[in-house]
Chain A
Amino acid sequence: MAGAAGPGTGPGAAGGDGDDSLYPIAVLIDELRNEDVQLRLNSIKKLSTIALALGVERTRTELLPFLTDTIYDEDEVLLALAEQLGNFTGLVGGPDFAHCLLPPLESLATVEETVVRDKAVESLRQISQEHTPVALEAHFVPLVKRLASGDWFTSRTSACGLFSVCYPRASNAVKAEIRQHFRSLCSDDTPMVRRAAASKLGEFAKVLELDSVKSEIVPLFTNLASDEQDSVRLLAVEACVSIAQLLSQEDLEALVMPTLRQAAEDKSWRVRYMVADKFSELQKAVGPKITLHDLIPAFQNLLKDCEAEVRAAAAHKVKELCENLPTEGRETIIMNQILPYIKELVSDTNQHVKSALASVIMGLSTILGKENTIEHLLPLFLAQLKDECPEVRLNIISNLDCVNEVIGIRQLSQSLLPAIVELAEDAKWRVRLAIIEYMPLLAGQLVSMCHMLQCIGTVCENLAGEMTSDLFLGSGCVECFTCSACQNLAGIRHCALSPLLPVYAIREAATNNLMKLVQKFGTEWAQNTIVPKVLVMANDPNYLHRMTTLFCINALSEACGQEITTKQMLPIVLKMAGDQVANVRFNVAKSLQKIGPILDTDALQEEVKPVLQKLGQDEDMDVKYFAQEAISAVAQRLRKLDFPVKDSEEPSDPEADKNHFLRPRGPGEDTGKAHRERAARVAPEEAVGAARFRGTDAAKGPAYQLHVNTETHLPNWKLQN
């Protein structure tokens, strides 16, 4: 003790050459009381460094007393402190001195901020494990008792979380005392404490001897479950799960079930909600026999509860409940005792209940098997598919695959298709978007079934002409095409042009879809069905649709390949460069940049380049910008393809000069080719770099196309500044 405060005791403590090593620590310590919260927080977070520098002795005698009184601080700082102290055992001298950490944590366990208290309790629990049994009884248990009999409820709530860690290691006499304290907290005056006790009841029950559970915990549980405050009662439901796991079937029936039954019929909907929410856990805890006997009727009541919240929570649990039933006789139970209630829920008045059900109901088909699904569940699915609430329909559609496995798509088809078409027309664009995102999945499911063709064809014909349904018809036609069965189906004319839909997000999703569809069904199909339709849109009076053409081309070009792109798409794109709307024009530039890699060099050089150059001189700034981007991309590509740099145009460029000298002997016509080889051999990258350099230095005269842009951009740039 005496030497502890002196120099050199702790590692890093002041030695002869103190200043250098002391300084950072001194700053940290001083900042423990800095006015800036952030600095205090930093210091607290480095508390272990400070403690290490001070050494174990001074940490115990000086640092900890200071920290104990720091509870005036901001919650944020206290939280960090509580967390730090949980790992401090080593820094105060090991398990033998772990009790030194109790005072600061005790004061932290009484602050009014719940987060801080919880963290302090967590740290205390951690430290309790490091106590020796003797120290536990000498220091830790008294602390718990102090907290449990504290004046303010904050300390009593904190105590609730500490019983279960000290109980198993305490002697019998102390155990009795601990139980006594817990009992009194369970009947505390303030609801806060009763709530804390109720939430720790299950945990405490687990560490108790079985006899004590029966004789003490069960009465407490019964009391809490009939507390006058429903916020306490609902927490008792949670405890019920843990207690039920500990008891035998007979005891369960006698001790717990009456309370549970009562909770399931509680006046307060929040308690019933809790029962519904914990139903699977309860089911597992009480075992199959009681489930059949008690829980199923209770569940039926919850499914027809008057509060929508409760019904929704119960509906969520339908699948889990059914899955966890004993396999033997499961089907009959579901058919007779659950399904009738589910049928009612399908036409529930509350959409949240219906959509909760819709999200799990499909799971029942695997449990019930094909025949029952077709006979009983399918009508429900279909009813839900026609539900007025889009969320319900979506939940059904998104789970289609599990039904598909059981009964096959055929049964669903007739109702599925119209339902999807309807959804695609939904007034909410998010729903339409979701449908489009599901399209590839559905198409994938549908495509394997050739026998569906007839039916799809019929639908296509029926719906031909409806623009929004085009979306679906597109994929419908896909099947038709791949099966080469009904190529002339009327629907083909109205193929996948969902891009016509008015919201950009949808158009974007739809165009992406197009690409996937083309990849799936091949270029021939694309050329015959999609491309013409897309190209027709280029003349649409609505510029958004004209832009859609460009987006589609962006998406399709890669999948369609060079030939189709060059022959069919490129001319249209180039034509659109003269569009009067600037948005279309700069999208032309973007498209050209995008499809550039697919085109061959001749087309690039002869068709694309002039157009881009023209766009580069456009009066619109954005058009110019994107044209410039496209030009540099195209230029790069041209170089990579060994396209000749026109050296004659670049007398001032040294690189070009070199090229000049190294020009092959043959004059004139052959220049291009030879030069191309040269460029490829020598320095394609240098050439690019040179081009860039020239681009930035406009005074050096024309170099490739870039000077045009820089020159015209410069004034703009100045203006902007």
Chain B
Amino acid sequence: MLVASQALLWGAPRGLPTNFTVSQRSLPLPLCTIDTPPHPALSLPDLHVMYLLHLVELASLGDQPHGRGEFYLFCSPCYPCAGNAAAAWPARPARPLRIASVRGGGACPGHRARPSMGEDTDTRKINHSFLRDHSYVTEADIISTVEFNHTGELLATGDKGGRVVIFQREPESKNAPHSQGEYDVYSTFQSHEPEFDYLKSLEIEEKINKIKWLPQQNAAHSLLSTNDKTIKLWKITERDKRPEGYNLKDEEGKLKDLSTVTSLQVPVLKPMDLMVEVSPRRVFANGHTYHINSISVNSDCETYMSADDLRINLWHLAITDRSFNIVDIKPANMEDLTEVITASEFHPHHCNLFVYSSSKGSLRLCDMRAAALCDKHSKLFEEPEDPSNRSFFSEIISSVSDVKFSHSGRYMLTRDYLTVKVWDLNMEARPIETYQVHDYLRSKLCSLYENDCIFDKFECAWNGSDSVIMTGAYNNFFRMFDRNTKRDVTLEASRESSKPRAVLKPRRVCVGGKRRRDDISVDSLDFTKKILHTAWHPAENIIAIAATNNLYIFQDKVNSEMH
């Protein structure tokens, strides 16, 4: 029977259409007034006083960057947990990976000594290689996303090799005061593998485009990771007990003599060293024709959305075989294509609101209450273009590379090539604040276009109290802007300048002829060293900066001295 397909339902009848072509009427949208919820008061970070807490370097081993041999995890003595992660390996082992680190505390805090034969040599190897300057970086080790979980206790990074590395913050301990706040490797696993789409003759990279943590539901943690096409839900659990006792064999697996088996034995759980297990729970595949650029978990804790260049899909976290298309900007004729979706995010509190940004520099806020299909936005945030500034590059540099709701839900932060902007949800005409990230590049757009740097997608981040914003730049510089004092600072994430516990020196890029000491001229900026991915701890002034294959974790001095 060719009966109209009724809305597909998710368990409880929440109907959403699959591929309706609904003619929509525009509604005056009753947007709720958004109040800033009370937020824990944070000490404002003194922008100049950031020091390196922890630096982690990922490096594939050996000469085969894509080799898939045995799993090696060379760990410095600071990584008892990483050793455990290697021992308990339920998910696919990661590619050979070395994680080396420099810690703010300098000396190793009291880690549990593990009697291991090979450890000493390993350690030497690491320290040795770490001291060398790595000019050679394997493509697979380049970090492609950084994300704190909701409490900030865990930090996940994804890289181009499809690996996810999870760091856990060391709990404060009395005998090692400096270790507080330091992030240790908690678990490492291979999330995605390179694939080939035979129908379209397309290679699907394993690069992790985005990681999003789910709100914690029980002792286990869950996260979503995505590459260009496939989203996966992972569960990270700890296990500290192990069953013991077999009836028919001993613990080594040798069979017992059957005649000695005279009574039944039920296995008993005995405590053991902590093991971290990562297991794949769901795979959300085949939802996207184009490349997924963002995923975002809804505040209703049961749905999330994924956006590719032209469409946004809504998924139920428990259902992998269907998703609902909520935005589709694909024109009937691809030649009429003028803009693509570049990023999207759900509102932090209102489950019905989400925003998506476009390559034309506009933001569209959609309300899922109004209609099942959100092709018609409720609000359009767009700054009128300044005609005097128009050039060949105008459209490219106005493309929004990232959009983030503030924690309060009142503001949105967007990053385009040269600026970061803060938008008020209640004001569509223009951003309430605009900060120049590297305006000195405006004159160099032509060469940036030629080396493709102009298409770099920088991300941006809010601090926990929405008072400071942070974004990356070139030459391993990253920028912070204090919204209240209007102060800004440029800092550099580099191994040379990041002595443990040393406060980061602000850097300056000079434009004209006057050059002060320590200034860097525009021409000497290294455009291959770029900081695209940054993350800010949700409550404290701890930031994670991904610079190619290095993850820098900085903490502000004020904050740490309070402890």
Interface residues of A (CB under 8 A from B): 5, 7, 13-14, 18-19, 22-23, 25-27, 29-30, 32-33, 53-54, 58, 62-63, 65-66, 69, 72, 74-75, 110-114, 152-155, 190-192, 195, 199, 228-231, 234-235, 238, 266-270, 273-274, 277, 306-309, 312-313, 316, 349-352, 355-356, 359, 390-391, 394-395, 398, 430-431, 434
Q: A153's contact among B217, B259, B318, B370, by CB below 8 Å, is which?
A: B217
Which chain A residues border B27 with CB–CB below 8 Å? 306
Known contacts A13-B264, A29-B264, A434-B2; A313 and B7 CB within 8 A of each other: yes
Known contacts A29-B247, A309-B17; A231 and B302 CB within 8 A of each other: yes
Which chain B residues border A235 with CB–CB below 8 Å? 12
CB–CB B263/A13 < 8 A: yes
Name the residue on B nearest A359 (C-beta): B3
What are 13 inter-chain pairs, A to B, with CB distance below 8 A? A13-B263, A13-B264, A26-B261, A26-B264, A29-B266, A53-B264, A112-B217, A192-B217, A231-B300, A267-B369, A273-B7, A277-B15, A306-B371
Interface 9-mer from B18-26, B355-363, B386-394: B18-26
Determine whether B372 belongs to the interface, using a CB cutoff of 8 Å to chain A.
Answer: yes
Q: How far is the CA of A356 from the CA of B12 in the complex (A)?
A: 21
Instruction: Give me 15 other A-B pairs in contact (C-beta within 8 A), A29-B266, A153-B301, A273-B14 excluded.
Output: A23-B248, A23-B258, A23-B261, A30-B247, A30-B248, A54-B266, A65-B269, A112-B218, A229-B299, A234-B12, A267-B370, A268-B368, A307-B370, A350-B22, A391-B4
CB–CB A309/B7 < 8 A: yes
Which chain A residues border B259 with CB–CB below 8 Å? 19
Q: A32's contact among B262, B267, B302, by CB below 8 Å, is which?
A: B267
Determine whether B42 belongs to the interface, using a CB cutoff of 8 Å to chain A.
Answer: no
Q: Nearest Cβ in chain B — how far from A27, in angstroms? A: 7
Interface 9-mer from B74-82, B136-144, B185-193, B236-244: B236-244
Which chain B residues border A69 with CB–CB below 8 Å? 241, 269
Q: How far is the CA of A33 from the CA of B266 in the complex (A)?
A: 10
CB–CB A312/B264 < 8 A: no
Q: How far is the CA of A238 from the CA of B13 in the complex (A)?
A: 10
CB–CB A391/B264 < 8 A: no
Name the residue on B nearest A277 (C-beta): B13
Which chain B residues border A63 with CB–CB below 8 Å? 266
Which chain B residues border A231 with CB–CB below 8 Å? 14, 300, 302, 351
CB–CB B261/A18 < 8 A: yes
Determine whether B235 belongs to the interface, using a CB cutoff of 8 Å to chain A.
Answer: yes
CB–CB B4/A312 < 8 A: yes
CB–CB A27/B20 < 8 A: no
The CB with the most chain A CB atoms within 10 A, among B14, B220, B349, is that of: B14
CB–CB B235/A191 < 8 A: no
CB–CB A111/B267 < 8 A: no
CB–CB B7/A230 < 8 A: no
Name the residue on B nearest A152 (C-beta): B218
Known contacts A112-B235, A309-B372, A312-B4; A234 and B14 CB within 8 A of each other: yes
Interface residues of B (CB under 8 A from A): 1-7, 12-17, 20, 22-23, 25, 27, 30, 32, 215-220, 222, 235, 237, 239, 241, 243, 246-249, 258-259, 261-269, 277, 279, 281, 299-302, 318, 349-352, 368-372
Name the residue on B nearest A392 (C-beta): B4
Which chain B residues border A270 with CB–CB below 8 Å? 14-16, 369
Name the residue on B nearest A191 (C-beta): B300
CB–CB A66/B267 < 8 A: yes
Known contacts A19-B261, A434-B2; A352 and B14 CB within 8 A of each other: no
Q: How far is the CA of A231 from the CA of B9 in the complex (A)?
A: 13
CB–CB B352/A191 < 8 A: no
Which chain B residues border A238 with CB–CB below 8 Å? 12
Which chain B residues border A273 with CB–CB below 8 Å? 7, 13-15
Q: Nearest Cβ in chain A — how far from B14, in angstroms? A: 6
Q: How far is the CA of A53 from the CA of B30 in the complex (A)?
A: 65
Q: Nearest Cβ in chain B — how far from A14, in angstroms? A: 4
Known contacts A112-B217, A192-B302, A308-B372; A29 and B265 CB within 8 A of each other: yes
CB–CB A155/B218 < 8 A: yes
Which chain A residues border B246 with CB–CB below 8 Å? 30, 33
CB–CB B218/A33 < 8 A: no
CB–CB B261/A27 < 8 A: no
Name the residue on A nearest B259 (C-beta): A19
CB–CB A391/B219 < 8 A: no
The CB with the most chain B CB atoms within 10 A, among A110, A309, A313, A356, is that of: A309
CB–CB A355/B351 < 8 A: no
CB–CB A154/B218 < 8 A: yes
Which chain A residues border B277 with CB–CB below 8 Å? 72
CB–CB B17/A230 < 8 A: no
Q: A30's contact among B1, B16, B215, B249, by CB below 8 Å, is which?
A: B249
CB–CB A394/B369 < 8 A: no
Which chain A residues border B4 with CB–CB below 8 Å? 312, 351-352, 355-356, 359, 391, 395
CB–CB B239/A72 < 8 A: yes
Q: How far is the CA of A234 from the CA of B7 in the complex (A)?
A: 16
Q: B243's contact among A66, A112, A316, by CB below 8 Å, is which?
A: A66
The CB with the most chain A CB atoms within 10 A, among B217, B264, B352, is that of: B264
Which chain A residues border B262 with CB–CB below 8 Å? 7, 14, 18, 22
Q: How far is the CA of A66 from the CA of B248 in the complex (A)?
A: 18
Q: A62's contact among B14, B266, B299, by CB below 8 Å, is which?
A: B266
Q: B351's contact among A191, A352, A390, by CB below 8 Å, is which?
A: A191
Q: Nearest Cβ in chain B — how far from A126, in angstroms? A: 22
Q: How far is the CA of A269 from the CA of B3 in the complex (A)?
A: 23
Q: Nearest Cβ in chain A — how far from B278, in angstroms? A: 12
Which chain A residues border B371 with CB–CB below 8 Å? 269, 306-307
Q: Nearest Cβ in chain B — how far from A223, in angstroms? A: 17
Q: A274's contact among B2, B13, B220, B266, by CB below 8 Å, is which?
A: B13
CB–CB A152/B372 < 8 A: no
Q: Nearest Cβ in chain B — how far from A305, in angstroms? A: 10
Q: How far is the CA of A132 from the CA of B127 in the complex (A)?
A: 67
CB–CB A152/B217 < 8 A: yes
CB–CB B15/A66 < 8 A: no
Which chain B residues border A29 with CB–CB below 8 Å? 247, 264-267
Q: How far is the CA of A285 from the CA of B102 in the complex (A)?
A: 69
The CB with the most chain B CB atoms within 10 A, among A63, A191, A352, is that of: A352
Q: How far is the CA of A313 from the CA of B13 in the complex (A)?
A: 11
Q: Nearest Cβ in chain A — how far from B95, in angstroms? A: 24
Q: How far is the CA of A390 from the CA of B2 in the complex (A)?
A: 9
CB–CB B369/A268 < 8 A: yes
Known contacts A152-B219, A394-B2; A27 and B369 CB within 8 A of each other: no
CB–CB A33/B3 < 8 A: no
Q: Nearest Cβ in chain B — how far from A706, in angstroms? A: 46
Q: Nearest Cβ in chain B — how far from A613, in angstroms? A: 48
Q: How far is the CA of A190 from the CA of B87 in the complex (A)?
A: 36
Q: A54's contact among B3, B264, B268, by CB below 8 Å, is which?
A: B264
Q: How far is the CA of A14 from the CA of B262 in the complex (A)?
A: 6
CB–CB A431/B2 < 8 A: yes
Which chain B residues border A62 with CB–CB below 8 Å? 266, 268
Which chain B residues border A58 with CB–CB below 8 Å? 264, 266
Name the residue on A nearest B239 (C-beta): A72
CB–CB B369/A230 < 8 A: yes
CB–CB A111/B218 < 8 A: yes
Q: Nearest Cβ in chain B — how far from A553, in angstroms? A: 31
CB–CB B23/A350 < 8 A: yes
Q: How far is the CA of A14 from the CA of B239 in the complex (A)?
A: 33
Which chain B residues border A26 with CB–CB below 8 Å? 247-248, 261, 264
Q: How far is the CA of A5 from the CA of B215 in the complex (A)?
A: 45
Which chain B residues border A229 with CB–CB below 8 Å? 299-300, 351
Q: How far is the CA of A270 from the CA of B17 in the complex (A)?
A: 11
Which chain B residues border A153 with CB–CB below 8 Å? 217, 301
Which chain A residues border B15 with CB–CB below 8 Å? 270, 273, 277, 309, 313
CB–CB A352/B5 < 8 A: yes
Q: How far is the CA of A411 from the CA of B160 in the complex (A)?
A: 70
CB–CB B17/A33 < 8 A: no
Which chain B residues border A25 with CB–CB below 8 Å? 264
Known contacts A19-B258, A63-B266, A350-B20; A191 and B7 CB within 8 A of each other: no
